[in-house]
Amino acid sequence: MESIFSQPLFWVFVFALLFAAAFWPGRGPFWRRLQKNQRQQRVLIEDGLKHVYTFRQREIPVTVESLAGAVELNRSQASELIAEMEESALLHYGESGLELTPKGEALALHVVRAHRLWETHLADTTGLAPTDWHSQADRKEHSLSPAEVDALAASLGHPVFDPHGDPIPTEKGVDAPPSFALTEAKPNQTLRIVHLEDEPPVVFAQLVAEGLHPGMAIQLIEKTDQFLHFVGEGEERRLAPQLAANVSVRPVRNHNGVMLGGAQPLNSLRVGEEAKVVAVSRACRGPERRRLMDLGILPGAAIEVAMPSPMNDPVAYRVRDTLIALRNDQAQMILIERT
């Protein structure tokens, strides 16, 4: 009796099954690979549009080289990407380099808006470190639909700025007051930090480690070629010009209520000293900020050092006849005035 494996029809049937499994629409490995490649190409295009948009906002010319660096491609691959975006009517060459078409600008605005809203979500609702916001938002921005972005904005109360101080676009674009680098400020100016550049990450991490954050009011005392000396939230600070160039500021027109030298961090109190809470630093966000408010750390509240721990961290404080323990890094973000 002839084996079934020797029957031509059997092998035709087997090959047909294998072909169907490989090329089954939407599920076969061929289509999954194709969909993955399409997603990767869409991410490249959106990252390229975001780069063009942010450079144009800063009035920096966009070149093939700058785009190649932003999306991590070589020059030849970047040129191919630009050609594809031109063919899709997303950008074109103008008098000052690459420029977005209305269609390209709308898509770039969507990606930038999704990115900055997601950073705000991470800052306000999670305990994620500030140095991780940008990388997380870089991944999430490509998966949010316009409807999901609108819902996210509504859930956050339609914020105007992200945690770094960047304006969050609306569907119509961005309308932000002008600012300038801290290195351009003059001594004795009262300023407010409005933006910390989050790229490169190592620079942003240094600015965060210095305790700087958008919303902080500062007064520049001295500026030299080696450092900028300023006071903010009760502390004197020095910053190298290379770091200060990544801090954007605006002049403070009305000095009423601006906390400079008068307010000090809570961890400057000694045992038995009393003070009044002035504010919680804007650097404290999300669950940590809500916890402090739940503990009664509110403007005007009386607070005193009750007792330190053996290692002096944490420290027990008395607030409204209640003892609470705060770590030094928490107390650093509570601004007080001695009474």
Domain segments of the chain as ranges: 29-100, 180-251, 264-338
Higher pLDDT pick, 192 / 2: 192
What average pLDDT does the segment 314-326 reach? 86
Cα–Cα distance measured from residue 186 to residue 196, given in angstroms and rounded to the nearest whole number: 19
Quick one: average pLDDT of 105-110? Answer: 91
**Residue labelled with tokens 């049937």:** 13
Which residues lie closer than 8 Å to 40 by C-beta, 6 or more apart?
none
Specify whether the CB–CB gap between 93 and 99 falls below 8 A: yes
Of 16 and 207, the one with more pLDDT: 207
Average pLDDT value for the chain: 82
- Of 40-54, 87-101, 198-212, 243-257, the range with the lowest mean pLDDT is 243-257
pLDDT at res. 257: 47
Architecture of domain 264-338: Roll (2.30)
Give the integer Cα–Cα distance in Å for 133 and 208: 12
Contact status, residue 333 vs residue 280, Cβ threshold 8 Å: yes
Name which residue leads in pLDDT, 60 or 74: 74
Cα R_g (the chain), whole angstroms: 27
Structure confidence at residue 4 (pLDDT): 58
pLDDT of residue 42: 87
pLDDT (average), residues 52-71: 84
- Separation CA 188–CA 76 (nearest Å): 50
pLDDT at residue number 212: 87
Characterise 286 by phi-psi region: left (phi > 0), alpha (psi -120 to 50), beta (else).
left
- Return the pLDDT at 113: 92
Token code pair at residue 160? 């105007």
pLDDT given at position 73: 85
Listed residue (256, 266, 189, 205) closest to 235, CA to CA: 266
Q: Which residue is it, tokens 């029957």?
A: 7
**CA 186/CA 2 separation, integer angstroms:** 96
Mean pLDDT in residue range 124-145: 87
| CATH code linked to domain 29-100 | 1.10.10.10
pLDDT over threshold 60, residue 26:
no
Q: What is the pLDDT of residue 33?
A: 61
What pLDDT was estimated at residue 39? 78
| pLDDT band for position 31 (cuts 50, 70, 90) | very low
- Interval 251-279 mean pLDDT: 72
Q: What percent of the chain has pLDDT over 70?
A: 84
Averaged pLDDT for residues 222-240: 87
pLDDT at residue 227 tops 50: yes
Q: Which residues pair with 223 in a beta bridge?
A: 228
Whole-model pTM: value is 0.64
pLDDT, average across residues 110-120: 92
pLDDT at 125: 85
- The domains spanning 29-100 and 180-251 adopt the same CATH topology: no
Distance CA 105, CA 113 (A): 12
pLDDT of residue 226: 92
Nearby residues of 191 by Cβ (< 8 Å), 6 or more positions away: 182, 185, 217, 218, 219, 220, 249, 250, 251, 252
pLDDT top residue among 27 and 124: 124
Residue 1 has a pLDDT of: 47
Q: Which fold has domain 180-251?
A: SH3 type barrels. (2.30.30)
Give the largest CA-CA distance in the chain: 105
Average pLDDT over residues 301-313: 82
